[in-house]
A and B are shown apart, each in its own frame.
Chain A
Amino acid sequence: MITAERGATERVKRLRAQSENTVPEISLERALLVTEVYRHNYGKVSPPLLRALAFKQIMEKKSICINDGELLVGERGPGPLATPTYPELCCHSIDDLTVISERKKISFKVSEEVKKAQQDVIIPYWKGLSMREKIFENMSSAWLDCYQAGLFTEFMEQRAPGHTVADDKIYHTGMLDLISKIKAKLAEVEKEDGPDRSAREDQLQAMAICAESLIRFAERHAELAEEQARVEKDRTRKAELLEISRVCRQVPAHAPGNMWEALQYYWFVHLGVITELNTWDAFCPGRLDQHLEPFYRNDLAAGTLDREQARELLQCFWVKFNNQPAPPKVGITLKESGTYTDFANINLGGVKADGSDGVSDLTYLLLEVIDEMRLLQPSTNVQVSKKNPDLFIRKAGEVIRKGWGQPSVFNVEAVIQELLTQGKSLVDARCGGTSGCVETGAFGKESYILTGYFNLTKVLEITLNDGVDPATEKLIGLGSGKEVQFDSFDQLLESFRSQLHHFIEIKITGNQVIEELYAKNMPAPFLSLIIDDCLENARDYNAGGSRYNTNYIQGVGIGSITDSLAALKKHVFEDQKYTLPELLAVLKNNFAGREEVRQYLIHKTSHYGNDDDYADLIMKQVFKLYYEAVNGRPSYRGGIYRINMLPTTCHVYFGSVIGATPDGRLSGMPLSEGISPVQGVDLNGPTAVIKSAAKMDHLLTGGTLLNVKFTPQVLSGEKGLDSLVHLVRSYFRMDGHHIQFNVVDAETLKEAQQNPEAYGNLIVRVAGYSDYFNNLSEQLQNEIIQRTAHESL
């Protein structure tokens, strides 16, 4: 395999190949260790202590390994890609395990022993106790109806809140320092006489146990390295093993002193977070270049490390992320996020705490590492500030235009303004960034939890059916299912607004219950060590201990609902070409026998994404309604609700539960993704797309996602690279939050040839000019496909 050959050194090539070629499999080791702890201690000690004891058990007992030749050590499971389960969150049935192992995509190997242990030990203990079961038991019937109809998804039904990122704290604070701080805080708390004194003490004790356990986990690796060194014949490797051992005794007990130690420290913390609970978006080092830069600079100056050795260490670090696939998901959670990627999304560039340019030589080295490794994980992005040199975007652009999807591009000034709007301090905002897909956060200080995707287009469908979901035929919205009448477009929007508030209310009522369940039953004392101010507040991350607490509901399908409303406005209310009942009947029949109506709706309606105010102003109206329905509501943890606009893979699931829509979309087809236009209708080029997208007030959100597609030819040469930089700078001048360039390969072009309608917006570089792929003759399309295939070799 060609892909297995990537990497700067033989060592990296080997480790990378191992990571790429190992089949993900389920390991029950963690589940069994946790079950043992719960069996002995559940109900005897408070939840934080119970969770700390479980963490301690895993860190002390789990099998550890040092992979052949590796420099950075530690795996979440017994070996690379061996993936634990979290029965306290989601206890898989035997059927679940069968599905997980047999499905075509995103599968995991499940051995017979695993199935047997699940049957004999895990299921009998956890049945009825897992968070998943508790959540569904506690939801109202209205919530359950909406959930089944696909109005929204629920993030916490299989995975824990997480959605946070490390700041620079660990690079100057050892776990022993944290333990000292905890002791000092305990001394303060002991003098309190509030009703929650003992709960606060337990929380602090639990955090101390977790800190000690991580030190012990590292020591076990030190011991293993020494053991291996004793029998190692190869002198170089022997020395490396002894160095690994030394590093593992230094960190995480103490602050790191060099780049190797810094990386190893972060990696132990990462494993701690993703072992304690199955946190969404795993965990993430955040501003990796800025955090490592002082170590890198010192090591170079001291002559203890050169650029190539730094590259090798970073590449070893990359492999570590790829060794940890997102734990298996089932049901709707799989549909909304169907990928092995666990969304650790490393940030590069941006500005420093004092607002100055954050790009350094290490940033460029990391871009080289990203390109050389080409791994699914970690995800990466560049944080582009007006203070960063164009060279930074150009270097990122050189990687982007190779077309394998990384890095994505973010607007630092927008992110900072979003954070300031939410009440963060300027320094916390500058040290923040984006994680997961596009989510804005104050790194190391904020719990910014995504609670579920919200199906905006489905709300319109239910509005048009007077509260009834046509798919399940249940009355789940406001109304009585009679034929709807609207005197004007504004009246339709008003009705949509009422339905929207109704469903948001149901979603948030459910969220409050779920948050309380997590706060009371599933604290995260280890994660609480890493995120300010859980320690100072003596309160858990899941109970609102962080400095900032934000809950998100992610809006999906803004393009589809905008185009649908634009069609209704134009053809029903303005031109009166169709009556509403007539059009609804056509939709109900999925345009059967009425293709001319579908074509008319597609071709004679203004579509969002063309810099045409007719549709774009409707987008703004929908956005405002959604913002007003969600923004500012209080959360259980004492934080507030906000919106962001991203789909992961949920636009496909959400589309599958919606019938035909007035924009000409057929029943069951995907919705538009992120804030991108409906697939194939943006015909005025990428500058029109960014103009349309920028009409949304991004600064009121916690992240938006815009995808723009190109063929490699458009972005080729100096002019292509220039144009990429200019598009990014232009979009960001208009406060756009994020843009990613989908530089398509020959396979996609072939698909475009088969399904031209879905690729109407695909621009290809032809000879002296660029054109839409659909506009080219078949012969020319073939020629370009060939050329692309040639170039991507």
Chain B
Amino acid sequence: MVIKIEGTIFNIQRFSLHDGPGIRTTVFLKGCPLNCIWCQNPEGISPEPLLIRQQQKCIGCYSCVKQCPQGAVKKGPSGPLVNQELCGNCFLCSEFCPAGAVEKAGQTKNALELVTELLKDRLVFEESGGGVTFSGGEPLMQPEFLLEVLKLLKQEGVHTAIETCGYTSWHNLVNAAALTDLILYDLKLIDEDQSKKYTGVSSKLILSNLKKLVSLNVNLHVRMPLIKGINDDINSLEKAAASLQEMGIEKIELIPYHNFGEAKYEKIGRDYGLKGLSRYSDADLQKVRIILSKAGIMINREGELNDYSRTGSH
């Protein structure tokens, strides 16, 4: 029965060094309840598979035009044009594109298939103290699938981590927490209005879930993305620090904004809301560190999180 549970994933990244201890494989599950304006993986937001197009790879052979059963792809002046309304999401174009210029983001796999794939690096996990991290999207958008995979990996003795935005039912979260070794909790915005404005959802559930998690004896690691002009002003930071302290969280990791996701928006035909925003410099980061540490929050230096067992919330 187990293998019947299927999930949709849009990437499996081996040799992942920054999402938990050791050398890891990060699985990106599709679907996210949030719609953050700075999202780095916009192809992961919708739960369904979608087409990714990379115009620079196109060799102009128009296999896609020939293959499309809906007639949704037409020759354009500088490459193929897709009529989204006609597209039936059959992805035949990606199957036949010789150059890999059209690709399908989102593959369906059953739990056992995925685990078999993940166990390929088992020996590296053992050697490095690494494991598997589930990211997304929001991994808890596919709770049954995630729990099944976590269970199977636990049976195999593989260390797991989940990276969550926290916007999920407590039921889901507590079940996942029982089966995983580490929770990477991405706390974006404390202020409710701000949260609604920039992520599309209220922060209430996220904060209450975090508070409850802290009271459980789980290995929890809070991470905060820093977005210039959105959550890095002194007021926001002090407010965040106060909330964290109230919950008994003394140490967090900062993830400074980068604009590397920008190119992806073009590939999936979406507009990017933060065009032209500059990335974080060391000096910017230093300022934030000082504000937070004055407010009593310790900062783990990015990229040097070797011992996750010591970065809990207690």
Contact = CB atoms under 8 A, between A and B. Distances in A.
Interface string A713-739: 010111110110011011001100000
Contacts of A595: 59, 61
Contacts of B121: 687, 691
Contacts, number: 100
A766 B304 CA distance: 15
Contact of A730 (B59, B127, B262, B302): B127
A727 B18 contact: no
Contacts of B302: 767-768
Interface stretch (B9-17, B105-113, B230-238): B9-17
B22 interface: yes
Given A596-B59, A599-B98, A611 B22 contact: no
Interface in B139-153: none
A421 interface: no
A589 interface: no
B120 to A, nearest CB: 5
B260 A771 contact: yes
B98 A687 contact: no
Contact of A599 (B14, B23, B99): B99
B306 interface: yes
Interface residues of B, number: 35
B63 interface: yes
B258 interface: yes
Could you say which interface size class chain A belongs to? 35 or more
B128 A596 contact: no
Contacts of A780: 259-260
Interface in A752-793: 763, 766-771, 776-777, 780
A706 to B, nearest CB: 15
A604 interface: yes
A572 interface: no
A729 B123 CA distance: 10
Nearest to B40: A769
Given A717-B303, A729-B127, A597 B98 contact: yes
Interface in A381-399: none
Contacts of A134: none
Contact of B263 (A717, A727, A767, A777): A777
Contacts of B303: 716-717, 719, 768
A636 to B, nearest CB: 43
Interface string B82-113: 00000000000000011110000000000000
B128 A722 contact: yes
Most B CB contacts (10 A, CB to CB) among A598, A611, A768, A771 go to A768
B236 to A, nearest CB: 20
A101 B274 CA distance: 59
Contact of B304 (A597, A599, A719, A730): A719
A611 B116 CA distance: 12
Contacts of B256: 767-768
A572 to B, nearest CB: 16
B98 A600 contact: yes
Given A687-B15, A717-B304, A723 B128 contact: yes
Contacts of A771: 260
A768 B225 CA distance: 11
B107 to A, nearest CB: 14
B279 interface: yes
A79 interface: no
Interface string A674-716: 0000000000111110010000000000000000000000101
B34 interface: no
A770 B306 contact: no
B61 A733 contact: no
Contacts of B72: none
Most A CB contacts (10 A, CB to CB) among B255, B262, B303 go to B303
A116 interface: no
Contacts of B288: none
B98 A726 contact: no
Contacts of B305: 719
A603 interface: yes
A766 B13 CA distance: 15
A360 to B, nearest CB: 25
Contacts of B128: 722-723, 726, 730
B255 A768 contact: yes
A671 B267 CA distance: 33
B124 interface: yes
Interface in B28-65: 59, 61, 63
B306 A687 contact: no
A770 B23 contact: no
Nearest to A714: B17
Contact of A776 (B23, B97, B99, B260): B260
Contact of B258 (A597, A685, A766): A766
Nearest to B225: A768
Contacts of B124: 687, 726-727, 730
B260 A734 contact: no
Contacts of A763: 15
A688 B128 CA distance: 15
Interface string B2-27: 00000000000111111000110000
15 contacts: A595-B59, A596-B63, A599-B99, A603-B100, A684-B14, A686-B15, A719-B303, A726-B124, A727-B124, A729-B127, A767-B260, A771-B260, A776-B260, A777-B263, A780-B260
User: Would you list the 5 A-B pairs with minimal beta carbon distance, nearest first?
Assistant: A726-B128, A685-B15, A600-B98, A599-B98, A596-B61
Given A598-B98, A599-B99, A719-B304, 11 more contacts: A596-B59, A688-B15, A719-B303, A720-B17, A722-B22, A726-B22, A733-B127, A767-B258, A768-B18, A770-B18, A780-B259
